[in-house]
Amino acid sequence: MVIEYRGRLQEIRRDLDAHRDAIDQRYTEVLGYERARKVYEASERLLTPESFLGDIDELRQATGSDFPHDTANKLGAGVHADFVIDEHGYIKGNPTVHTAPFFYISEAGFEASSYRHTNRPLASYVHEYNHFIFYLLQEPPLYLMDFFAVDGITPGKTFHLDIFMKEMEGRNLSPSDVANIMKRYAVFGMMKDSHERATEILDRQILGSIGIDIPLEWRGKNRIYMIMRSPLGNIVFPMGGDPFASSTDEEVVENMIGWVESLDFRSSDPYFTNLLGSLKGVRIRRHAVNHLEELEKRLERRNKRGN
């Protein structure tokens, strides 16, 4: 079995049980046998009932963030790393990341998701599971670039453009610092947009096998950008259109799996370039959620004994 669900929503369980064979076969066709087997083995090891959060209070408690009630279903990951990233984007310390995936999947999360029009919560879960597949197959997972890049962009970890710009106005930064942080935000935005679009393409490939149509109105459309003026010149932000207009669906999935070598996220800001280079050398250790919690407790006890 390529896809697994150990959460509490019975509607997803019933729909998945009825269509598991078709979905598994399609995953094997799209990913290839070896990758599909890797996903199966990893899901057996990493996904436990504790990996599935079924209400918003559980998500808030697990992450320490005040998510609103209308938060859409999502994949998240716990991360433990004994290193820091310096002001130049270089890793200082032990280059090992321990990480554990988890899902927030609920009826309220489905109603807030972009796939609520399907009337089948399974569609929303497949979308998050496809994020999980990229998390498994990418080395390093693009999610970790998301996680570590934010500290070089904004301490508030806020990515809404209007709020971001207001925060920038309130920080005492030199013109060159402002320009570089805006560049980081732009590249980060392209990364997140490309990741989401590639996941939607994989959704269409998989869900079409069980009669769920995922219309991708943006596919094949010209890229749309917003140009913003920084102290040292214009910064281009992606706002819509197709980041993969010249690629087939199959090429998009393949390139997203091998994103480090296949996708061009270059930036004239050295911080981002250095961070990407540093993360290429990081050792990734993936765990089940409860195992990561146990590991963190052991490391905390060891660190206390060493002090």
Q: Cα-Cα-Cα-Cα dihedral of 167, 242, 74, 99, to 10°?
A: -80
Residue in 97, 107, 86 with CA at minimum distance from that of residue 12? 107
Quick one: tokens of 64?
A: 């320490």
Q: Cα-Cα-Cα-Cα dihedral of 101, 105, 108, 114, to 10°?
A: 80
In whole angstroms, give the CA distance from residue 97 to residue 232. Answer: 35
In whole angstroms, give the CA distance from residue 247 to residue 153. Answer: 30
Question: Quick check: 3 and 23 in contact, CB under 8 A?
Answer: yes
Looking at residue 158, its pLDDT comes to 46
In whole angstroms, give the CA distance from residue 284 to residue 179. Answer: 32
Per-residue model confidence as pLDDT tens for the chain (307 residues): 799 999 999 999 999 999 999 999 999 999 999 999 999 999 999 999 999 999 999 999 988 889 999 999 999 999 988 888 888 889 899 999 999 999 999 999 999 999 999 999 999 999 999 999 999 999 999 888 777 766 555 544 444 556 566 666 666 777 777 777 777 777 888 888 899 999 999 999 999 999 999 999 999 999 988 887 777 678 787 888 999 999 999 999 999 999 988 877 666 668 878 888 888 889 999 999 998 988 777 655 444 444 3
Domain ranges of the chain: 10-306
Amino acid 138 reads Q
CB atoms within 10 A of CB 23: 22
Quick one: tokens of 29?
A: 């066709």
283 bridge partner residues: 96
